[in-house]
Homo-oligomer: A and B are copies of this chain.
């Protein structure tokens, strides 16, 4: 077959592709439930007119980006509002039952248990794709996988309601909001993208990826009102090659989102003006002593080491739930019951009249973080018996705050690992952030206590600064990212500690990444058999030489290679050498051959084989987009392959399995 034949084929295919999107859009509209047909037509006409007017100012996509930011911020605000109401209701009920210990116990445990059981079964029944964080799935979509179910409106609805229930369960379940919000944001983005295409009457282009990248930034920005760290998060977690053309849209949309989020807070009467979410009041005249830099570096290393422990136990529980028969059965058939039982167990442990009193369990997650970030020293306050409200909960039982903090850390760590197995929409970033803050606080209080005891050199030491640095360092190390350093600054509006925070985060990251271990998201990706290319690329620092495989001709794949571990070892080390190119026919043969032995088939590994073997070719293909790359066979050009073609092959295989 000559190239021309291929080109003609491609031409036809392209024409088909061009006509396809309109097919795609119309069935969707016809199939879905459609009230008020006439009104819809009118609205559509109006929208077309409006789009012409707006289009004269700037491109339609800019309105899409602005709308994405605003809508996500409104969703975020609504969620915060309803969660706050549900939490207050629980608190009110608990206070009302004062004196009846048994009733209080049931109120404390059954409320979150019911909420989580509901969240679990509801989200599973409406859309099974809505559980978990969503970040690994969004990453996979950005890497080129097509997962339309993950972007449906039904999924958004299920995820939104489920997440409200999860968050309303409070600090007992101790789960966060960031991850699902990034997912929610991508769903809003995908919908707006479709809408923009519909209004413009254009066929769908590769703008979809752009919306996804932007949506990832907006998710974080709208969740905390932190635009810059949102963009950095998008750069880090989402794409191995960040294209500069996404940079401005990301910032634009994130700024819109953060602004809307803050303005809603002002309008709802929560603040006089636009302020940081967890505003602190550290002393700005002397935020820290220069020598404390060493302590911050130590804190970073400590957080890095702790994060390794946490990640190991997280990976262990992910494996355990897959291999243990009881867990496996519960998680596949009785999701609601499982969630309810686990949360009941967690809640009974945190009951304030039993062990809960030693771990400030009455605080909500927000209150926990606020108290940990307080600038005044706790230990000296309890010394002088002038116990303040903020530290009241930590020393309510009369135990020293050091013991409280240590007990809190010990308990929350394994409880969080257990909570990560819950099959409900939940984020895992915020709890990690709080645990990091507790680690930092513990070190800070210790240093403050020791320095106040002896000489008076460091009289005004601020343990809150350590808590902030610890939070950034630990969450950064767990997720293998640096954006938490900026997030810590944006959350508190405290810029004076920027340099020590960055130092701790960088050191914690260096330690956490040193062994080429998978990050938190990578571990979930592995467990869900999703591709997790970016982190593998990121982690590849050493350049090992696979001299014997440096062949410039096409590489021949054999099943032996796959089984005897050569390929997996290759994948784990991601050598940066050009190993060769895989022929299309070869690839197909290889994949079909392996398919006959379904026992040994691992989709995730396959994706990597295809992507990695021509190590650079993946980047080339993913950037080349629809443009074909030539495929040669023994020096003769036999055809060309595009990224979408390769994807189709892979997806077809995945479906068959």
Contact = CB atoms under 8 A, between A and B. Distances in A.
A263 B247 contact: no
Given A244-B534, A248-B509, A259-B499, A284 B281 contact: yes
A489 B495 contact: yes
Interface stretch (A271-279, A524-532, A649-657): A271-279
A637 B496 CA distance: 60
Contacts of A578: 626-627
Interface string A272-299: 1111100001001011111001000000
Contacts of A228: 228, 485-486, 498, 502
A534 to B, nearest CB: 6
Contacts of A499: 225, 227, 255, 258-259, 262, 274
A538 B244 contact: yes
Contact of A58 (B255, B276, B503, B510): B510
B7 A552 contact: yes
A243 B244 contact: no
A7 B578 CA distance: 14
A542 interface: yes
Contact of A4 (B289, B293, B635): B635
A236 interface: yes
A235 interface: yes
A58 B619 CA distance: 27
Contacts of A446: none
A556 interface: no
B273 A287 contact: yes
A516 to B, nearest CB: 12
Given A242-B241, A290-B263, A496-B275, A247 B482 contact: yes
Interface string A615-633: 0110110011111001010
Interface in A494-533: 494-496, 498-500, 502-503, 506, 509-510, 513-514
A203 to B, nearest CB: 12
A248 to B, nearest CB: 7
A327 interface: no
Nearest to A251: B482
A510 to B, nearest CB: 7
A274 B288 contact: yes
Nearest to A543: B205
Contacts of A619: 623
A253 to B, nearest CB: 10
A459 interface: no
A244 B252 contact: no
Interface in A634-657: 634-637
A372 B193 CA distance: 43
Contacts of A452: none
B240 A244 contact: yes
A251 B502 contact: yes
A292 to B, nearest CB: 9
A116 B316 CA distance: 66
Interface in A225-243: 225, 227-228, 235-236, 239-243
A208 interface: no
Nearest to A226: B498
A276 B241 contact: no
A146 interface: no
A233 to B, nearest CB: 12
Nearest to A244: B240
B2 A635 contact: yes
A273 B251 contact: no
A482 B252 CA distance: 10
B495 A276 contact: yes
A149 B150 CA distance: 53
A31 to B, nearest CB: 30
Contacts of A293: 259, 263, 274
Nearest to A5: B635
A244 B239 contact: yes
A634 B7 CA distance: 11
A241 B244 contact: yes
Contacts of A227: 498-499, 502
A7 B542 contact: no
Which of A11, A241, A281 has the most chain B CB atoms inside 10 A of its CB? A241
Contacts of A62: 510
A623 B620 contact: yes
A59 interface: yes
Nearest to A263: B290
Given A228-B486, A482-B247, A499-B227, A630 B630 contact: yes
A64 interface: no
User: What are the 7 A-B residue pairs with the smallest beta carbon separation, nearest first?
Assistant: A3-B635, A630-B630, A637-B637, A495-B495, A4-B635, A493-B495, A242-B242
Given A235-B235, A247-B538, A616-B624, 6 more contacts: A3-B636, A227-B502, A248-B506, A273-B286, A620-B620, A630-B637
Interface of A: 2-4, 7, 10-11, 58-59, 62, 205, 225, 227-228, 235-236, 239-245, 247-248, 251-252, 255, 258-259, 262-263, 266, 272-276, 281, 284, 286-290, 293, 482, 485-486, 489-490, 493-496, 498-500, 502-503, 506, 509-510, 513-514, 534, 537-538, 540-543, 552-553, 578, 616-617, 619-620, 623-627, 630, 632, 634-637
16 contacts: A205-B543, A227-B502, A228-B485, A228-B498, A228-B502, A236-B247, A248-B538, A251-B506, A259-B503, A274-B499, A490-B495, A490-B498, A578-B627, A623-B623, A630-B637, A635-B637
